[in-house]
A and B are shown apart, each in its own frame.
Chain A
Amino acid sequence: MAIMTGGDAAPISLTGAKKFRGDLTRTRIRWVIIGLVTLFLIVCGRLVQLGMVVQDTTIEGRTREAISASRPAILDRNGLEMAVDIRVPSLYAEPRRIIDVDDAVEKLRTVLPDLDPAWLRNKLSGEKGFVWIKRDLTPALEDKIYQLGIPGLDFLTESKRFYPGGPEASHILGSVNVDNQGIGGIEQYIDSQGLAQLQSVGIANGGNLKPVQLSIDMRVQHVMRQVLLDALTRYQAKADAGVMIDVKTGEVLGLVSLPDFDPNDPSSMIAPYNGEKAMRFNRITAGKYELGSTFKTVTIAGALDAGAIKMTDQFDARFGVRFGRFTITDFHGQHRMLSLPEVYKYSSNVGAIHIEQTWGKDNFRGFMTKVGFDSPLPIELPEKTTSYIPKTLSDVTAATASFGHGISITPLHMAAAMAAFVNNGVYEPPTVYKRTPQEVAQLAKRFISPKTSLEIRELMRLNGIEGSGSVMNRLAEGYRVGGKTGTAEKVENGRYSRSKNFNVFASAFPMDAPKYAMVVIIDEPHRESATTGDTAGWNAGEITGRIVAGVAPMLGVAPNFDQALDDQMVPVSIR
């Protein structure tokens, strides 16, 4: 309430006591509000700050999901597990959540007495997010530790790969490293097909992965490995290998390459063998070799199919073939005119050269491309090599190539071609995965005519009955095996060595209705005894015979001793 005293005087304002108190209260309230708002802002700011903190949830740089991620089981064609995941609990600690370190150490040591107390105390103190205490615990131990009820300790289920067959199928399976990633073989292939991504985003967990079913038959695989293992000592060889293919589908039933390794121990992959390094590779897909006389089957099949030669033709094997300074002669020299079946049976190099020359070297080179020797192997295994065949053949290389020298292919190339030759000329790309009949029909490709296929089968069976395959045939009597040997001298310091051989046996059975084709190789074999030899028939052939005798009953191939069957297959006229 202001009192006006004069026109020019400044107004005097008087404030009553009541108003004064009111103003004071208002000021106080304002201060309290400011205080509260500041407090709230601080709390909000702290909340935002807490929200921004990124917790390090990785364990040694890997996410929890990646550690517990599993891999699909790998089954053989009959459903037997070749690789499984074992889920094992591992103990870890979060030191920043541990209240009483000494108490935790003491309690833990009652269950895990082998842990060093000083080391453990050091591990459990500090502000770290994760530390491993003990990996691969048993479920019983896990339970005991859980019962201790120590805060800040927890378990993580890790997946461990286990290969129940041990080294049985090592080259097919490959292995996995500590991070559960495939290194080699089918394991690596599975990763390349998208499993790696699934694992990294954490959905490859538990049992939600479909098992991978392979075409391998573990029984066949076992028999092949046993026989090949026995052959290593029997013939004191450096290495050997074998592969068996279902000719109708291209499925690989067994693939063994020795020396091999144990997938449960990946470091054994690169371990030296008899003091030599790099011996444990897959010789079937990642080794290329001069496959020697087995190649004559290819030469003859191509020439027959092109109509360049006939089964009744005669070839002059009286003299060697001269190329400048060199003369190529026969190992089992007959020095007379040979019919085509005789060229095959006696494995005449001279005969093979005449066949190739009648046919033409460009046609011969074209046929090699047609049967897939140039192309990389279609198989899923990542370890594979490409062939060595010159783009164009000179007269000499064409001549040597006709009996398998001067060009190198993998044994699987040969096995797949053999399978096609006996399977009415129809080729199926080799695979280690199980194939459906639709896929088989879709992938089929014709190499040679059914008529030529029949003639090749006649020749192969003939060689089994009375040629270089007769040692094999005695062991696998009744299973109608036919095949061709190949004995190649190894190249040493740029020259062919007289004493060191590389032997091959390419075969198929049962010849009256072929189901399986096989290629066996053996590196530097020796004579088993004084009465035997060191050529392919004596080692690679015998191995083949033993394998067939072992696996044929399992594969449902019944032995048949009916002479009429052989007579029908191999007419007396060509014997």
Chain B
Amino acid sequence: MIRKLNILLLITSSIAFVAVYGLKYSVEEVAKNKQALERHIEQQKGQLSLLEADWSYLNQPSYIQPIIDRHIAQLNLQPIKQTQFGSLSELPMRPVQPDTAAMTALFSSLQAGVDPADKPIGGQ
């Protein structure tokens, strides 16, 4: 009886020994993975914060202004003047009949190289 029990215990303990041994190594493996992942996350967060800082720096008016100033001549940029603002009410109503005469005039003027859209809204 006692002999059988002893054998049983021996078998169980050797199984437990192998299991614990395996578990220990798998835990170490998981811990290593976890550490690597944490490091990766930390790195990514760091890079993200750098990129975010970069993005907000590039969006600052103080960063954009000098770029505009540099290209004023090339792009023919001008600060908007108060007189250049228009409102919807200044637009003429849509004509009931298509205004063929005006369309012809527009196309011939475009063909001649004069674009009426270059003129400021609201008059001369």
Contact = CB atoms under 8 A, between A and B. Distances in A.
Nearest to A82: B56
A139 B43 contact: yes
Interface string A122-142: 000000000000000001001
Nearest to B86: A558
B56 A157 contact: no
A31 interface: no
B82 A549 contact: yes
Given A168-B60, A218-B61, A478-B82, A87 B52 contact: no
A80 B46 contact: no
A81 B56 contact: yes
A35 interface: no
Given A146-B39, A164-B56, A558-B85, A157 B62 contact: no
Interface in A86-122: 86-89
Given A87-B46, A168-B62, A558 B56 contact: no
A151 interface: no
B80 A553 contact: yes
A143 B36 CA distance: 12
B50 interface: yes
Interface of B is mostly: helix
A157 B46 contact: yes
A85 B49 contact: yes
Nearest to A162: B53
Nearest to A206: B45
Contacts of B46: 86-89, 139, 157
A267 interface: no
A478 B42 CA distance: 54
Contacts of B82: 476-479, 549, 559, 561
B47 interface: yes
B65 A157 contact: no
Interface string A417-438: 0000000000000000000000
Contacts of B61: 165, 168, 218-219, 221-223
Contacts of A143: 43
A222 B62 CA distance: 7
A86 B53 contact: yes
A376 interface: no
Interface string B77-106: 001101101010000000000000000000
A84 B87 contact: no
Contacts of B79: 550
Interface in A394-453: none
Contact of B60 (A207, A218, A477): A218
Contacts of A366: none
A219 B60 CA distance: 8
A388 B57 CA distance: 41
A226 interface: yes
Contact of A166 (B39, B53, B62): B62
A80 B53 contact: no
B59 interface: yes
Contacts of A85: 49
Given A80-B60, A218-B60, A559 B85 contact: yes
Interface string A216-243: 0011011101100000000000000000
Nearest to A558: B85
B39 A87 contact: no
B64 to A, nearest CB: 9
Nearest to A88: B46
B60 A87 contact: no
Contacts of A165: 60-62
Contacts of A225: 62
Contacts of A218: 60-61
Interface in B13-56: 39, 42-43, 45-47, 49-50, 52-53, 56
A559 B66 CA distance: 27
Contact of B56 (A84, A207, A478): A84
Nearest to A85: B49
Contacts of A164: 53, 56-57, 59-60, 63
B58 to A, nearest CB: 8
B80 to A, nearest CB: 6
A157 B60 contact: no
Interface in A178-230: 206-207, 218-219, 221-223, 225-226
Interface of A: 80-81, 84-89, 139, 142-143, 146, 157, 162, 164-166, 168, 206-207, 218-219, 221-223, 225-226, 476-479, 549-550, 553, 558-559, 561
Question: Closest 8 A-B residue pairs measured CB to CB?
Answer: A81-B56, A222-B61, A164-B57, A559-B82, A478-B82, A87-B46, A164-B56, A87-B49
19 contacts: A81-B56, A81-B59, A84-B49, A84-B53, A86-B50, A86-B53, A87-B42, A87-B46, A157-B42, A162-B57, A165-B61, A165-B62, A168-B61, A226-B65, A476-B82, A477-B82, A478-B85, A553-B85, A558-B85
